[in-house]
Structure 1
Amino acid sequence: MIRLAPLIISLLLAPLQAAAFETQAREAYVIDQTTGTVLLAKNADVPLPPASMSKLMTLYMAFEAIRRGKSDGGLDLNEMLPVSEHAQSYGGSSMFLQSGETVSVEDLIRGIIVLSGNDACVVIAEALSPDGTEYGFARLMTQRAQQLGMTNSTFTNSNGWPAPGHLMSMRDLGLLSHRLIEDFPEFYPLFAETEFEFDNRVPSNRLNRNPLLTMNIGADGLKTGHTQEAGYGLAGSAKQGDRRVIFVVSGIESSAARAQESQAIVNWAFRQFAMRPMISEGEKFAEAEVWMGSEPKVGLVAAEDVSVLMPALAASELEAEVVFTGPVEAPVTKGQQLAELVFTPEGLPEKRIPLVADRDIGPGGFVSRMSTAALLLINRLVQGPGDAT
């Protein structure tokens, strides 16, 4: 591995770094979805009761089932599902469903998102469960979560009702939020609905519990949660311009504090960090020696324009280095990745940007190959047998 002398990339910015955010949440996870940069992690991998935020997993599986379609063991939006006595038995937030009636999948989905209906979750769960029970569906939730990379999540019910062993981490909830946004763009706008008056039942219960949706900060999801043990939590997302931020908080003392803290996190994430143009397509950073090629060296250039998330008031200069394994063996194809440009913005994880060959270089002719072989032989003779590798 060859590391060339450090390069200095000028950003022409003030010499300051992003201010750290001291959250009052007991657990928190904030990620810039656009770049995948983790901006804040506090007890992010601790499994804990997620309350109603675990409904996001039920929704993810419901969306998968709708996409499969009824003919493939899934669901149809217009399909009517029966409400069981078990579904009606749950207290807490509710669609106020009655056992024996049937409700459309579309209404149930909106009832989960907007009204946080515990009963609606169970209706979906029993329809998709391999044995027709909510617990059977919860086992599927755990299996699917593991497949998605959510390694600190286990489920015993579909709605987050307090129960031993029903746990999720903030990082897992952040990952799940990301997957909902990316995998189901056709359904994600439902999370921004501020009210849903189902069948004119209990009109006072029609409003979305997410306090950020009306704050004009770009928030468009996802789910609040609250139990006595977990405190107040929120899995949220906001988009401003070309950037999207996902955040999850838990263990906050009141609904008012949750709203205030969530708003503060969104403002901090957008104001303290910014996308900066860093590299231009075709910009040359170094040259690599070519082994037995028609030319002795090849240029290492950026394959495309690159913008990088930086502290909004970043250092005026950023040190970077070119890393590659060399010499490069001919032939070389233009656009072939040969190296990486490595740098670390202050307070953020290391960044690696691929560098590619700036031109084609074919294998050397007879004279070139003989010259290279002769140089290799001379080097070995100079080194002596004890130094050969």
Structure 2
Amino acid sequence: MPDVSQTAPIALLVDVQSGQTLLSQNADRRFIPASITKVMSAYVAFELLAAGKLSLDQEFAMSNEAAESWYRTGSTMFLEPGEPVPVDLLLKGICAVSANDGSIVLAEGAAGSVEAWVAMMNATAQKLGMRSSHFATPNGWPDDGQTFTTARDLEKLAKAMITSHPEYYATYFGQEGLRHNGFAQANHDPISGIIDGADGIKTGYTNQAGHGFLGSAARDGSRLIMVLGGIDTEQRRATIAREFVEWGFAGFERRRMYSTGDQVATARVQNADQSSIPLISEQPINVVMPTDYTGDVTLNVIYEGPLKTPIAQGEKVAELEILVDGLPPARVPLTAGETINRAGTLQRIFNAFQSWIS
């Protein structure tokens, strides 16, 4: 196991398919994400694109008011005031070269104001269950600690982005860099193009926050998400990130338990014309265990039952708990395998009678 106790004040490594935490240090401690904030801006944009409320060829321009604060301020994609720029290019600037100016132009153009965009960021965070996060800027610029998050919350954000918007994720994250207005810049991502299977996500740095990284890599059908925070140097961040990923793949074996669409179990149903409903895996489920592991693996189906109708097919109604000695418990959602409507009066009377005599 990598020794991050002294070198990475905040560290988290999670296997996406199983939800298992492979390593955790201060994963629930709040910290300043700096430019990792831009991942939330990108996710909000992906959500708008998927909903048809934003298009990649839509063009926005830097206003004179925005230029007063953000013209070539910090990380930049060298936008000029009044220059029409398509959303596609703004996202490339935000995701590849951490463009502060691009983040502001996208926020103002898509939401009407930075304040409205930030409100969308925070609403999205709550929807994703990021209970210990708050955003006050679209780009993570220092704001006296108003923007904060945790490693656990960032892992939720990364997982949602990768699983809900895989095409946008692959298009905009993990790219080598960007050339715009005569300026060529490289991506500072310490693992993409270096570590096999690495494809993002975003670095962050301020004097107050130190060096942080939200990263991901996929190999042989498995994906890891890592979060690092509070590291003292850029080089140390790169070294730890690379070691982290390699250990996450090489130090564990993965056993496929269920494929997408497999029936995992059944759950009892109340007031329906049938007594149970199949529970389906909505994704491949692997159990991750240390290499040469000889301990126990326990799988438990957890739900509040009997389930109440109506239930729609595909609705999340239960969880599969995975227990491996030495690792924290993990849970994977299970969905209803079919639609079940509420039973009629006669059926409910019959069900009650059956329950009584049994």
2:119 pairs, out of 125, 131, 139, with 139
Pairwise CA distance, 1:313:
2.1
| Equivalent position SS for 2:122 | helix
2:46 pairs, out of 63, 68, 72, with 63
Q: Which position in structure 2 is the counterpart of 1:211?
A: 190
* Maintained 8 Å contact 2:2/2:244: no
Partner amino acid for 1:115?
A: V
Change (3 A) 1:322 1:237: closer
TM-score normalized with structure 2 length? 0.75
* Maintained 8 Å contact 1:81/1:123: yes
Pairwise CA distance, 1:323:
9.4
Pairwise CA distance, 1:135:
2.3
State the alpha-carbon separation in 2 of the partners of residues 48 and 254 from structure 1: 17
Residues 1:46 and 2:29 are matched in the alignment: yes
Q: Which position in structure 2 is the counterpart of 1:121?
A: 103
State the alpha-carbon separation in 2 of the partners of residues 126 and 306 from structure 1: 41
Q: Which position in structure 1 is the counterpart of 2:324?
A: 345
Partner amino acid for 1:168?
A: T
Pairwise CA distance, 1:41:
2.0
State the alpha-carbon separation in 2 of the partners of residues 279 and 185 from structure 1: 21
Pairwise CA distance, 1:346:
2.1
* Maintained 8 Å contact 1:28/1:248: yes
Pairwise CA distance, 1:322:
8.5
Pairwise CA distance, 1:136:
2.6
Deviations 1:105-150 (A, max 9, x none): 1100101011110000001111232xx3212321221122111111
Change (3 A) 1:34 1:76: same
State the alpha-carbon separation in 1 of the partners of residues 24 and 44 from structure 2: 27
2:158 pairs, out of 177, 193, 208, with 177
State the alpha-carbon separation in 1 of the partners of residues 83 and 285 from structure 2: 55
Residues 1:37 and 2:37 are matched in the alignment: no
Larger Rg: 1
* Maintained 8 Å contact 2:19/2:330: no
Partner amino acid for 2:19?
A: G
Q: Which position in structure 2 is the counterpart of 1:318?
A: 296
* Maintained 8 Å contact 2:136/2:147: yes
Change (3 A) 1:209 1:87: farther
* Maintained 8 Å contact 2:19/2:331: no
| Equivalent position SS for 2:97 | coil
State the alpha-carbon separation in 2 of the partners of residues 187 and 323 from structure 1: 33
Change (3 A) 1:207 1:313: same
Can you give the 5+ residue segments of structure 2 that lack an aligned partner in the other structure?
260-278, 303-318, 335-356
Q: Which position in structure 2 is the counterpart of 1:28?
A: 11
Q: Which position in structure 2 is the counterpart of 1:309?
A: 288
Higher RCO (C-alpha under 8 Å, 6+ residues apart) = 1
| Equivalent position SS for 2:29 | coil
Name the count of aligned residue pairs.
297
Can you give the 5+ residue segments of structure 1 that lack an aligned partner in the other structure?
1-18, 281-301, 325-339, 355-372, 377-389
State the alpha-carbon separation in 1 of the partners of residues 3 and 96 from structure 2: 30
Q: Which position in structure 1 is the counterpart of 2:229?
A: 250
State the alpha-carbon separation in 1 of the partners of residues 60 and 187 from structure 2: 23
* Maintained 8 Å contact 1:125/1:137: yes
State the alpha-carbon separation in 2 of the partners of residues 66 and 45 from structure 1: 31
Task: Say what the alpha-carbon RMSD is for the aligned residues.
Answer: 3.3
Q: Which position in structure 2 is the counterpart of 1:107?
A: 89
Change (3 A) 1:160 1:277: closer
Residues 1:226 and 2:196 are matched in the alignment: no
State the alpha-carbon separation in 1 of the partners of residues 39 and 286 from structure 2: 32
Change (3 A) 1:260 1:318: same
Change (3 A) 1:82 1:274: same
Pairwise CA distance, 1:26:
1.3
| Equivalent position SS for 1:45 | coil
2:183 pairs, out of 192, 197, 202, with 202
* Maintained 8 Å contact 1:87/1:120: no
State the alpha-carbon separation in 2 of the partners of residues 232 and 21 from structure 1: 17
Deviations 1:262-286 (A, max 9, x none): 0011011111111135799xxxxxx
Deviations 1:147-197 (A, max 9, x none): 111111111110000103111111111111111101111111121211221
Q: Which position in structure 2 is the counterpart of 1:153?
A: 133
| Equivalent position SS for 1:221 | strand
TM-score normalized with structure 1 length? 0.69
Instruction: Give structure 1 regions of 4+ aligned residues with deviation exceeding 6 angstroms.
Output: 302-306, 321-324, 340-343, 351-354
Change (3 A) 1:342 1:87: closer
Change (3 A) 1:222 1:306: closer
State the alpha-carbon separation in 1 of the partners of residues 97 and 35 from structure 2: 11
Q: Which position in structure 1 is the counterpart of 2:269?
A: none
2:75 pairs, out of 78, 85, 93, with 93
Partner amino acid for 1:235?
A: L
Partner amino acid for 1:197?
A: R
State the alpha-carbon separation in 2 of the partners of residues 173 and 319 from structure 1: 28
Pairwise CA distance, 1:352:
8.1
Identity, in percent, stands at: 36
